[in-house]
A and B are shown apart, each in its own frame.
Chain A
């Protein structure tokens, strides 16, 4: 027997032995960037402190890459102990197929219905009255990030809402600065579209389309105005030749561009660049017009396991993830908002504080992950990708969009 083979066998024996003594839970997620990895290690430390072992199963790439891997492992009979997914519709079929663990007893013991704020997060985890996931954090997409350097160079005031931004865009352009940085990818264009419609079309029309899926509202005059605003934004971003969102954020950080519409995860980039909110950059939730945020985010799901020991550990982990200490340390590192309103987040920075205020005042909306199936979202992203990069007219885009809403599920 060769030495390599021997050492391999010994190694395997050791791993099996250690697995038997403590409960090891493999946790898969796609948090791999600097801030995200720091955040997930907070969870791992908290879990290891209970005497169990956190086996980190990070999958590089975005959710789009990781989700098929996670789902095929669950379907293929090789389930991990716990996994990240975006709460909402993504796991619905897995729950229906009986592949995910029912956490209702843990939720009742922990009084989740009282502590989770907004309660829509828990609703997104609930199917037929049973709770299947632990909400972890809240990310919202309706933010505009403004570069102070760009406006100072052009001798302009930093805008305080979307209308002011559009009004000053021409002067900014004349000063040689690109008004709006935009990564040329469908999901980013879809986020910008969502944020602009919420600001321009208003809350009622937005809810009619996104929550009630009312195609007539999508054909209505509010949405016509919104599509024209998006077409105007398209011309402001026409010179933006970057693909990835963080490259577009970098244009705002360096003052090459005036603004970017992007979710709250962008503030991680500003933080890494050492910029200070209010001095170097500004953030406006709801584009400064409608101070409401959607409440997408991440949740943990626990695939069903035959081993009762692991099942018990899974429930223990579920309770730990939503505990006040774990919520504070994780969300401060990640830059996202906590899922419970009863904890002290005073260490959070200015943008997070704005978000927390909106959450506390109840200005929350369901996220696209909750309202629409992945299929409908992909179709909307495709339409937006086409609309933003071609000279498609606002009226045509609106008609196509209304058709999608009509068929949406």
Chain B
């Protein structure tokens, strides 16, 4: 008797994990459904239709890998990928370095810290479109920086990055850094403030220099903060679009094209959904390739430890 009836009370006492916190789970049901239907469903639909010859309207006319073959055969796509690689690597390194350096400077208990913090953070309050237009004018040789410096008497001064296909991507980079560094600085500053004062005292007792303390002790301690900053910068890089549209329109020629712009233009201007879907699927692939090893290292490692 006891042996047979034993499992019942136990299962009543310990309901399955699915029904634990059921109120919270019901509350989050809309979000779960949104995630499943809109994000996952939309992604799956896009990937599926990237194998079709859809033009203006989605049509299930299968063409295999044709869209992908055409995509990787298109100069504009290759240029876009290269541009994103240059912009992305420069932006990633410089934003982290500048953001951390600014935060470290502010952390040295300087005067008017909050004023500086506000000034550095202000560009982030502007949209990319405003940033792009403002920097388009600042970098315009006839109205902006070049003409100002020339009017000071340095007649031979030349700074015209946006009209040269070889340098236009760095013109974008200046605007992107100006806009994005402030936020990263604030995140870094919050991380620095979270470091115990005793660490600094201990470092001073041991006679370790300030810079060395930052590099050897503080930065490794700020790993979570760096990860957060990294993810924010990376997502900003992948979706880079509005800055380019506002600042250069992809020009001169194709010199500042980016993948997101290729997707939008082929989906809507060229009325070729299949091609746009193929390009966006490739963007998804690149994100997944970066994301999976990182997620494995970050979360897989923690479970083991």
Q: Once the chains bind, are B268 and A386 in contact (CB under 8 Å)?
A: no
Provide the residues of chain B in CB contact with A75, threshold 8 Å. 57
Interface centre among B56, B57, B265, by most chain A C-beta atoms within 10 angstroms, is B56
Cβ-based interface call for A377 (8 A): yes
- Checking A64, A71, A243 against B251 with a beta-carbon cut-off of 8 angstroms, the contacting residue is A243
Interface: A68 (CB within 8 A) = yes
By the criterion of a CB under 8 Å from any partner CB, how many residues of chain B are at the interface? 27
- A94 and B56 contacting across the interface, CB-CB below 8 Å: yes
List of B residues within 8 angstroms of A90 by Cβ:
271
Give chain A residues whose Cβ lies under 8 Å from the Cβ of B255: 389
Task: Output the least CB separation between B193 and chain A (Å).
Answer: 44
Contacts A185-B249, A382-B76, A389-B165 given; does A68 touch B268 at CB 8 Å? yes
| Interface flag for A375 (CB, 8 Å) | yes
B163 at the interface (CB under 8 A from A): yes
- The answer to whether residues A389 and B254 also contact, given A67-B268, A377-B270 and a CB cut-off of 8 A, is yes
Asked whether, in the complex, the Cβ of B268 is within 8 Å of the Cβ of A241, the reply is: no
Known: A71-B56, A93-B57, A97-B57. A385 touches B269 (CB 8 A): no
Q: Of the candidates B141, B165, B271, which one forms a contact with A375 in the assembled complex, judged by CB atoms under 8 Å apart?
A: B271
For residue B113, CB closer than 8 A to chain A, the reply is no
Quick check: is B55 within 8 A (CB to CB) of the other chain?
yes
Report how far A390 CA is from B34 CA in the complex, Å: 46
Contacting residues, chain B, for A92 (C-beta < 8 A): 56
Closest to A75 in B: B57
Determine if B52 is an interface residue (Cβ-Cβ < 8 Å): no
Interface hits, A273-302 → B, CB 8 Å: none
In the complex with contacts A93-B55, A386-B76, A64-B254 CB distance below 8 A: no
Q: List 21 A-B contacts (CB under 8 A).
A: A64-B269, A67-B268, A71-B56, A75-B57, A93-B55, A93-B56, A93-B57, A93-B271, A184-B163, A184-B251, A241-B160, A373-B271, A374-B269, A378-B265, A378-B272, A379-B74, A385-B251, A388-B253, A389-B254, A390-B165, A400-B75
A389 touches B56 (CB 8 A): no
Cβ of B64 within 8 Å of any chain A Cβ, yes or no, is no
Interface residues of B in 249-264 (CB under 8 A from A): 249-255
**Which chain B positions have C-beta within 8 A of A379?**
74, 270
| Minimal Cβ-Cβ distance residue in A for B77 | A382
Distance (whole angstroms) from the CB of B244 to the closest CB of chain A: 13
Per the bound structure, the CA–CA distance linking A378 and B77 in Å amounts to 13
B266, CB-defined interface residue at 8 Å:
yes
Specify which of A64, A374, A389 is in contact with B253 (CB 8 Å cutoff). Answer: A389
- Chain A residues within 8 Å of B253, by CB: 184, 186, 385-386, 388-390
The minimal Cβ–Cβ distance linking A324 to chain B, given in whole angstroms, is 34
Closest chain-A Cβ to B78's Cβ sits at a distance in Å of 11
Please name the residue on chain B nearest to A90 by beta carbon: B271
Which residue of the partner chain A has the closest CB to B76? A382
**Cα of A385 to Cα of B165 in the assembled complex, Å:** 11
B249 touches A243 (CB 8 A): yes
Complex contact B55–A373 (CB within 8 A): yes
| Distance between Cα atoms of A64 and B267 in the complex (Å) | 11
CB-defined contacts of A386 to chain B, threshold 8 Å: 75-76, 79, 253-254
B280 within 8 A of A: no
Cα distance A382–B80 when bound, in Å? 12
Per the CB 8 Å criterion, the residue count for chain A at the interface is 29
| Known contacts A386-B79, A389-B253; 18 further A-B pairs (Cβ under 8 A) | A64-B268, A93-B56, A97-B57, A185-B249, A186-B254, A241-B160, A243-B251, A373-B55, A374-B270, A374-B272, A375-B55, A378-B269, A385-B250, A385-B251, A386-B76, A388-B253, A389-B165, A389-B251
Q: List the interface of chain B (C-beta within 8 A of A).
A: 55-57, 74-76, 79, 141, 160, 163, 165, 248-255, 265-266, 268-272, 275
User: Closest chain B residue to A62 by CB distance?
Assistant: B269
Q: If A374-B272, A378-B265 touch, does A385 touch B249 (CB 8 Å cutoff)?
A: no
A249 vs chain B, min Cβ distance (A):
17
Tell me which residues across on chain B come within 8 A of A400, comparing CB atoms: 75
- Interface code A349-380, partner B: CB below 8 Å = 1, 0 otherwise? 00000000000000000000000011101110
What is the 8 Å Cβ interface bit string for chain A, positions 388-406, against chain B (1 contact, 0 not)?
Answer: 1110000000001000000
B252 x A184 contact (CB < 8 A): yes
**Bound CA span A9–B200, Å:** 65
What residues of chain A lie closer than 8 Å to B76, measured between beta carbons?
382, 386
Minimum CB–CB distance for A240 against chain B, Å: 9
Query: Please, which residues of chain A bring their CB within 8 A of the CB of B268?
Result: 64, 67-68
State how many angstroms separate the Cβ of A387 from the closest Cβ of chain B.
8
Kindly list chain B residues whose C-beta atoms are within 8 Å of the C-beta of A378. Answer: 265-266, 269-270, 272
Contact of B252 among A68, A94, A97, A389 (CB under 8 A): A389
Which residues between 85 and 101 of chain A lie within 8 Å of chain B, taking CB atoms?
90, 92-94, 97
Within A19-77, the residues touching B (CB, 8 Å) are 64, 67-68, 71, 75
What is the distance, in angstroms, from B122's C-beta to the closest C-beta of chain A? Answer: 28
- Give the shortest distance, in Å, between A254 (CB) and chain B (any CB): 13
Bound Cα distance A184, B254 (Å): 10
In the A-B complex, the 3 residue pairs with the smallest Cβ-Cβ separation, listed nearest first, are: A389-B253, A378-B270, A68-B268
Q: Most chain-B CB neighbours within 10 Å: which of A71, A184, A377, A390? A: A184
Closest A residue to B270 using CB positions = A378
- Given the known inter-chain contacts A67-B268, A71-B56, please indicate yes or no for A382 contacting B254, CB distance below 8 A: yes
**In the assembly, what is the distance between CA of A367 and CA of B141, in Å?**
37
Rounded to whole angstroms, the CA-CA distance of A388 and B165 in the bound complex is 11
A71 to B248, CA, bound (A): 27
Shortest distance between the CB of A381 and any CB in chain B (Å): 9
Whole-angstrom CA separation of A400 from B165 in the bound complex: 20
Chain B contacts for A243, CB-based, 8 A = 248-249, 251
For A185, the chain B residues whose CB sits under 8 A away are 249, 251
- Closest chain A CB from B251 CB (angstroms): 5
B270 to chain A, nearest CB (A): 4
A377 to B55, CA, bound (A): 14
Chain B residues contacting A64 (CB-CB under 8 Å) are 268-269
Bound CA–CA A261/B203 (angstroms): 70
Smallest CB separation, A192 vs chain B (Å): 13
Contacts of B75 in A (CB 8 A): 382-383, 386, 400
